[in-house]
Amino acid sequence: MQISTPDWVKHAVFYQIFPDRFARNAHPTLPTQVQWEPWHSPPTLQGYKGGNLWGVIDRLDYLVDLGITALYLTPIFQSTCNHRYHTHDYYQVDPILGGNIALNALLVATHARQIKVVLDGVFNHASRGFFFFNDVLENGPHSPWVDWFRIEGWPVAAYQGDKPANYLAWNDNRALPQFNHDHPDVREYIMQVAEYWLRQGIDGWRLDVPNEIQVPGFWQEFRDRVKAINPEAYIVGEIWDNAQPWLQGDQFDGVMNYPFRQATIAFAAGERVDLTYTTQPAYAPYPPLRAPDYCQHIQDLLSRYPWDIQLTQLNLLSSHDTARLLSMVHLERSSVELATLLLFTFPGAPCIYYGDEVGLPGGIDPDCRRSFPDPADWDLSLQTLHKQLIRLRLAHPALRIGQYQVLLAQDEGYIFSRFVDGDVLIIALNCSVEPFSATLDLRSLPGQGSQLEPLYGEVSITLAATSAPTPSIVIQVPARQGSILAVRSAS
- Residue ranges of alpha helices (H) inside 236-332 are 258-268, 291-302, 307-310, 325-328
Instruction: Please give the average per-residue pLDDT across 433-459, as a whole number.
Output: 85
Strand 423-430, strand 481-488: pairing: antiparallel
pLDDT-derived band at 34, boundaries 50, 70, 90: confident
DSSP string, 136-171: HHHHGGG-TTGGGB-B-SSS--SS-TTS--SB-BGG
Three-state secondary-structure class, residue 324? coil
pLDDT (0 to 100) of residue 279: 81
Instruction: Please give the average per-residue pLDDT across 180-186, as a whole number.
Output: 98
Catalytic (active-site) positions: 208, 238
Q: Where on the phi/psi map is residue 10: left (φ > 0), alpha (ψ -120 to 50), or beta?
A: alpha
Q: With 70 as the cut, is the pLDDT of residue 469 above it? A: no
Amino acid letter for position 217: G
Counting every residue written for the chain, the total comes to 491
pLDDT-derived band at 441, boundaries 50, 70, 90: confident
For the packed helices 258-268 and 333-344, what is the interaxial angle rounded to 10 degrees? 140
Q: Where are the beta strands (DSSP E) in 243-283?
A: 254-257
Instruction: Please give the average per-residue pLDDT across 426-440, as a whole number.
Output: 96
pLDDT-derived band at 73, boundaries 50, 70, 90: very high
Query: In whole numbers, what is the pLDDT of the chain averaged over residues?
Result: 95
pLDDT (0 to 100) of residue 164: 80
Rounded distance, CA 211 to CA 214, Å?
A: 7
Per-residue model confidence as pLDDT tens digits over 307-329: 999 999 999 999 999 999 999 99
Q: With 80 as the cut, is the pLDDT of residue 244 above it? A: yes
Tell me, which fold does domain 7-124+181-395 have in CATH? TIM Barrel (3.20.20)
The percent of residues above 90 in pLDDT, for the chain, comes to 89
CATH of region 402-488 = 2.60.40.1180
Three-state secondary-structure class, residue 178? strand
248 phi/psi in degrees, rounded to 5: -105, 5
Lowest mean pLDDT of 17-26, 124-133, 157-166, name the range. 157-166
Q: With 70 as the cut, is the pLDDT of residue 490 above it? A: no
pLDDT-derived band at 491, boundaries 50, 70, 90: low
DSSP string, 366-427: TGGGPPPPPGGG--HHHHHHHHHHHHHHHH-HHHHH-EEEEEEEETTEEEEEEEETTEEEEE
Q: With 80 as the cut, is the pLDDT of residue 281 above it? A: no
Rounded distance, CA 448 to CA 246, Å?
A: 39
Contacts of residue 157, Cβ cutoff 8 Å, sequence gap at least 6: 163, 164, 165, 166, 174
Instruction: Give this prediction's pTM.
Output: 0.97
> What is the 8-class DSSP label of residue 78?
E
Per-residue model confidence as pLDDT tens digits over 331-378: 999 999 999 999 999 999 999 999 999 999 999 999 999 999 999 999
Residues of the chain with CATH 2.60.40.1180: 402-488
| Burial bucket for residue 376 (CB in 10 Å: 0-12, 13-18, 19+) | exposed
Q: How far is CA 231 from each of CA 4, 204, 353, rounded to the nearest angstrom?
A: 9, 10, 27
Task: Give me the half-sphere count of Cα atoms (radius 13 Å) on the Cβ side of residue 293.
Answer: 16
pLDDT (0 to 100) of residue 284: 76
Which of the two residues, 1 and 89, has the higher pLDDT score? 89
pLDDT (0 to 100) of residue 68: 98
Per-residue model confidence as pLDDT tens digits over 75-107: 999 999 999 999 999 999 999 999 999 999 999
Smallest Cα–Cα separation from 14: which of 203, 197, 196? 203
Smallest Cα–Cα separation from 93: which of 53, 45, 35? 53
> What is the 8-class DSSP label of residue 177?
B
Rounded distance, CA 7 to CA 397, Å?
A: 13
pLDDT (0 to 100) of residue 161: 84
Widest distance between CA atoms in the chain = 89
pLDDT-derived band at 467, boundaries 50, 70, 90: low
- Residue 483's DSSP bridge partners are 428
Q: With 70 as the cut, is the pLDDT of residue 242 above it? A: yes
Q: With 70 as the cut, is the pLDDT of residue 1 above it? A: yes
Rounded distance, CA 266 to CA 192, Å?
A: 42
Residues of the chain with CATH 3.20.20.80: 7-124+181-395
pLDDT (0 to 100) of residue 457: 97
pLDDT (0 to 100) of residue 448: 63
> What is the 8-class DSSP label of residue 72?
E
